[in-house]
Structure 1
Amino acid sequence: MPVATPSRLVRLDALRGFALVGILAVNVWAFATGYYGSGIADPAGDPVVQFAVSMFVETKFYLLFSFLFGYSFTLQMDAAARADAAFRPRMLRRHLGLAVIGVAHAVLLFPGDILTTYAVLGLVLLALRDISARRAVWLAIGLLLASGVLWTLLGVLDLLTPTPVDGAAAAARVAETVAAYQGTPATVVAEHLRQLPSTLALVVFVQAPSALAMFLLGFAAGKRQVLAEPWRHRTLWTWLLRAGLPIGLVGAAFYAYLTVHHPGSGAQTLAIGVTLLTAPLLTGGYVAALLRLFETRAATVFAPVGRVALSNYILQSVILSLVFTAYGLGLVGKLPYAAVAGLVVVIYAIQLALSALWLRSHRYGPLEWLLRAVTTGARPAAARPPALRP
């Protein structure tokens, strides 16, 4: 029998905490090398590290985060009902606060910010909040299939009518990015602003449909209390482990090979289509495996970092900016890929320890406290009462 769940859903926090290491393992490359997303290969790249990241992490963990966002939406609904408060105004304030944090994050630290996207897509979920769990699932499947099939067809078309990559122009853009990150804080911000239009296009046409689909799946799971009572859904978890996980791994290997060895080509466009179709299955397999792991005390290791996920997400960008840009050491393009991977482990280990320490005396993370204040329109208590401390 699974471990009893306290008032706050430990499994949800633990999943969110685990998702953070995947987010970090992807985002770090946008800081560490100017070649990330450039369409050309990094001469100093490490194919083994790149393949591992592309196969097991890239395009998977933002889906997990999106699923958990949708699940948490149902908890927000329950919280508003318990407080006898109007739900729509609360969520409008919450999404506005999230958008403000996201815009500041994108401009100052990381143009690949996901918070603003979540704030906007969250309004769609708000409009659909009366939808049934079954309809939410079918709408999500439709979005995933439509997006994946479209990109797969675009990839096939790209292969049939290939357009050569302008390597010289791409290399020049890489050099400009590196120079900006090694310049001054002002050039760092200017580079972020330059990247924002292309990043926005990537989000709108690639990530947003899948993120919204995972919102809907998380929303349906929240309505059915899937994470609160996972043992009641063993058929689903078994299917995800025995079928979803293998299919997802095959798609991930296909995506990783083409992304690493054929960047910027029609083959990579095809790979995007394939991963949009198969990555949700791999993400589901991760969830199924983690829920089994979290029936042990392992959940208590990841839960604290997940409880303050928003603060930790921003903190990751702060640390990476201090390491790789002119805000600090300016080491962009200077660390071997293996060292960057090691840095991910170190940063996450620090966050695990700091999060547990912080929550000994605080109810919320700093940004969680701020967002809660905006959501409720009241000043929440920050300190944890002595009786509740371990």
Structure 2
Amino acid sequence: MNIPFMAGPIWNALSDPRTMGWSPADQITWMVIETTWEGTQRGMLEFLFGAGLLVTAAKAMEPDGPVAVADLYIRRNLWLLLFGLFDIFCLLWPGDILHIYALCALALFPFRRLSVRWLIPLGLSFAAFGLVFGAIQYHGRSATQTAYHSAMAKQQAHQPLTKEEAKAVQEWRKIEQRIAGKDPTIEKEAKKEAEARASRSMADYAGWMIGAYLTILGKGELLGGVLEAFPAMLLGMALWKLGFIQGRRSTREYLLVLLLAYGFGMGARYIGCVERLAFMPQPKTIWLTDEFARLAVSLGHLAAINLLVRGSLSGRVVGVFGPAGQMAFTLYFMEQIAGLWIMFSPIGLDLPGGQGWAHLALQATIVIAVLLVFANVWMRVFASGPLEWLWRSLSYWERQPFRRVAPAAG
């Protein structure tokens, strides 16, 4: 999901996906990513952050619980915030999520004692807001569409337009331009990015990447990220209290959740993709269903994982992917280094951007495979990933075990 934005052009990828390459393979790749994966890795991580609070604060579930637990939790997330800022300003990743999750986690602690009947509605609050806002947007765009078609009919009949109809035509064509990536702001930012990447200067490249984050910040995306992540973390707390994340529900329940969550979530997202593929300003149902669908598919992924580890292949699955999970924090940073400093950096391979969604997805798959092998080799020798070790040592403010201790001879 991240590699198109590492390769660039970032603003083109955000506006018109066709600018990244639009062969049949690219179209299929884009649709598969948008339907099954986009935003769901964040969703699962948000669920796990909420669950992680309950694991960390297990000894502080009563009002008179030990202060040391809260102290550790707060210190841990303050360090996470610093790691996130390092990711943005040193590794040059404007799409960092760590600082967003750290800010959310710092506000999450007082909610640890809420019951499931409160956590679920609070966790769905952002999705509900999106539904209401999307309905308003849908109604407004429908009115504009009706006025536009009425105006076109009048123009063909050589009849004068009312002020409202003329305004609707102007607004409709402005949206058409934006969908096609011809918005003046997008064109300006895309030009700056192209110049920074073409300069082959690391200073220009770094300056643009940091500037991209500041532009995103100025557009209110940090607040949007917090509003998305915090409610999902509350849902994660509810899922932990229900035993869903830990695998304590029945196989039948997981299968039912998988079918319902995937059915609604992927169905809504597929319809949204079809609507977007028209590349027209018509009203779109995904405006109403977007966040509910993201949460649903994320929940479906959790159900699928729980079913997978119960099957006959569970040992192999855990054996292969378990080490990557144990050092996911390190791998997150290694992905940034691979994409931003080795593959697409002026001082690295300087691979061209806009290679097409399918080509970029293949490159990302290769990187993931290499990192998976690395994680399996590393975890045979060490007790944790290097950044997991550093984060834990800083949180506890004492050196933690790093190398695996060989079992004593019998």
State the shift of 1:338 in Å: 2.3
In the alignment, which of 91, 106, 122 is matched to residue 73 of structure 2? 91
**Counterpart position of 1:140:** 123
Say what the alpha-carbon RMSD is for the aligned residues.
Answer: 2.6
The DSSP-based 3-state class of the residue aligned with 1:56 is helix
2:56 to 76, 81, 92: 76
User: How many residues in Structure 1 have an aligned counterpart in Structure 2?
Assistant: 359
| Aligned counterpart in structure 2 of residue 66 of structure 1, from 43, 46, 58 | 46
Equivalent position of 1:384 in the other structure: 404
Letter in 2 for 1:180: A
Instruction: Specify whether residues 115 and 188 from structure 1 end up closer, same or farther in structure 2 by C-alpha distance, changes over 3 A only.
Output: same
> CA 1:158–1:329 in 2, change beyond 3 Å: closer, same or farther?
farther
Q: 1:151 to 1:103 in 2, by over 3 A?
A: farther
Letter in 1 for 2:84: G
In 1, distance between residues paired with 2:34 and 2:110? Answer: 34
Q: Residue 238 of structure 2: which of 205, 220, 239 is its match?
A: 220
Looking at structure 2, the residues matched to 328 and 126 of structure 1 have their Cα atoms a distance apart, in angstroms, of 42
What are the residue-to-residue correspondences of 1:115-134 with 2, within 5 Å?
Answer: 115-134=98-117
How big is each residue's C-alpha offset from its partner over 1:330-359, in whole Å with a ceiling of 9 and x where there is no partner? 224253432211111111111111111111
The 1:302/1:79 distance shift into structure 2, 3 A limit, reads farther
The alpha carbon displacement at 1:237 in A equals 1.9
Amino acid at match of 1:278: A
Change (3 A) 1:147 1:204: farther
Residues 47 and 260 in structure 1, CA contact (< 8 A), matched pair in contact too? no
Q: Does the 8 Å contact 1:308/1:355 carry over to 2? A: yes
Query: Structure 1: which 5+ residue stretches go unaligned?
Result: 1-25
Seen in structure 2, the aligned counterparts of structure 1 residues 43 and 245 have a Cα distance that, compared at 3 Å, is closer
Q: Does 1:42 align with 2:45?
A: no
2: distance between equivalents of 1:112 and 1:225? 32
Distance in 2, matches of 1:239 and 1:266, equals 34
Instruction: Tell me if the contact between 2:20 and 2:357 (Cα under 8 Å) persists in the aligned partners.
Output: no
Counterpart of 2:193, as a letter, is T
Residues 55 and 249, structure 1, Cα contact 8 Å, conserved in 2: yes
Name the aligned partner's letter for residue 90 of structure 1.
L
Deviations 1:64-114 (A, max 9, x none): 111112112222223889x97712211221111111111111223310100
Task: Quote how far apart the aligned CAs of 1:249 are.
Answer: 1.3
| Higher deviation after alignment, 126-135 or 212-221 | 126-135
Superposed counterparts of 1:276-287, under 5 Å = 276-287=291-302
Q: Cα gap change, 1:319/1:79 in structure 2, threshold over 3 Å: closer, same or farther?
A: farther
Query: Where does residue 186 of structure 1 map in the other structure?
Result: 203
Partner of 1:361: 381
Scaled by the length of structure 2, the TM-score of the pair is 0.79
Q: Equivalent residues in 2 for 1:310-329 (5 A)?
A: 310-321=329-340, 322-329=342-349
Could you tell me the TM-score, scaled by structure 1's length?
0.83
Partner of 2:124, secondary structure, is helix
For the Cα contact (< 8 Å) 2:266–2:297, is it kept in 1? yes
> Is the alpha carbon distance of 1:197 and 1:261 closer, same or farther for their aligned partners in structure 2, counting shifts above 3 Å?
farther
Pair 1:157 & 2:132 matched: no
Alignment of 1:226-245 (within 5 A): 226-230=244-248, 232-234=249-251, 236-245=253-262
Counterpart CA distance in 2 for 1:261 and 1:206 is: 27
Amino acid at match of 1:37: L
Contact 1:71 1:215 in 2 (8 A): yes
Q: Is the alpha carbon distance of 1:95 and 1:173 closer, same or farther for their aligned partners in structure 2, counting shifts above 3 Å?
A: same
1:25-73 Cα distance to aligned partner (Å, 9 max, x none) = x111101230211357406332222112111111222111111121122
Question: Which sits farther off after the overlay, 118-127 or 134-143?
Answer: 134-143
What is the CA-CA distance between 1:273 and the residue it aligns to? 3.7
Unaligned runs of 5+ in 2: 145-171
Please list the CA deviations of residues 228-256 of structure 1 after superposition, one character each: whole Å capped at 9, or x if unmatched.
Answer: 343x3445423322322111111110222
Amino acid at match of 1:245: Y
Match of 1:8 in 2: none
CA shift digits 1:141-173 (9 cap, x unpaired): 233212333234334434544443351633443
